[in-house]
Amino acid sequence: MSPIKAEAGSFRDPSGRIYIKDDQVFRTIMPVAADDYEAVRATGLIEELGDRGWLIGATEVAIDALESVATDASYVVEHPKIPFISYPYEWPFPALKAAALHHLDVHLAAMEKGVTLSDASAYNIQFIGTQPIFIDLLSLRPYQDGEIWGGHRQFCEQFLNPLLLRAKLGLVHNHWYRGTQEGIPAADLRRMLPLRKKLSRNVLLHVVAQSALQNSSATQAKNSEQTIKTGRLPKASMVRMLEGLRRWISTMEPADTGKTIWQDYANAHSYSDEEVRTKQNLIAEFVRTTSPQTVWDLGCNSGDYSQVAIDAGAKRSIGFDVDQGALEAAFARGQADGLDILPLFFDAANPTPNQGWNQAERQGMSERANADGIMALAFIHHLAIARNIPLDDLVGWLMGLAPTGVIEFVPKEDPMVKQLLRLREDIFPDYTLDAFRHHITKRGRIVQDTQVSAAGRRLIQFERKPT
Q: Which residues bind other proteins (CB under 8 A)?
A: 12-15, 32-33, 36, 118-119, 141, 144, 146-154, 156, 186, 205-206, 209-221, 223-224, 226-234, 237-238, 240-241
CB atoms within 10 A of CB 219: 13
Q: How far is the CB of 156 from other proteins (least distance, A)?
A: 7
Q: How far is the CB of 252 from other proteins (least distance, A)?
A: 20
Q: How far apart are CA 446 and CA 433, in angstroms?
A: 13
Measured from the CB atom, is 41 or 153 closer to other proteins? 153
Q: How far is the CB of 219 from other proteins (least distance, A)?
A: 4
Measured from the CB atom, is 219 or 272 closer to other proteins? 219
**Amino acid present at 321:** D
With contact defined as beta carbons under 8 Å apart, do 265 and 326 qualify?
A: yes
Measured from the CB atom, is 152 or 178 closer to other proteins? 152
Measured from the CB atom, is 166 or 206 closer to other proteins? 206
Q: How far is the CB of 127 from other proteins (least distance, A)?
A: 23
Measured from the CB atom, is 33 or 58 closer to other proteins? 33
Q: How far is the CB of 192 from other proteins (least distance, A)?
A: 17
Q: How far is the CB of 89 from other proteins (least distance, A)?
A: 20
With contact defined as beta carbons under 8 Å apart, do 134 and 49 qualify?
A: yes
Q: How far apart are CA 317 and CA 310, in angstroms?
A: 7
Q: How far apart are CA 281 and CA 328, in angstroms?
A: 26
Instruction: Calculate the alpha carbon distances from 435 to 95, 348, 386, 439, 448 in Å.
Output: 39, 21, 18, 6, 17
With contact defined as beta carbons under 8 Å apart, do 314 and 373 qualify?
A: yes
Q: How far apart are CA 37 and CA 30, in angstroms?
A: 10
Could you give the residue ranges of the DSSP H alpha helices within 92-160?
93-112, 152-155
Measured from the CB atom, is 2 or 144 closer to other proteins? 144
Q: How far is the CB of 202 from other proteins (least distance, A)?
A: 12
Give, in degrees to the nearest 5, the angle at Cα 123 between 119 and 129.
130
Q: How far apart are CA 202 and CA 350, in angstroms?
A: 36
Measured from the CB atom, is 214 or 272 closer to other proteins? 214
Q: How far apart are CA 333 and CA 132, in angstroms?
A: 15
What's the DSSP call for residue 65? G
Measured from the CB atom, is 150 or 313 closer to other proteins? 150
Q: How far is the CB of 244 from other proteins (least distance, A)?
A: 9
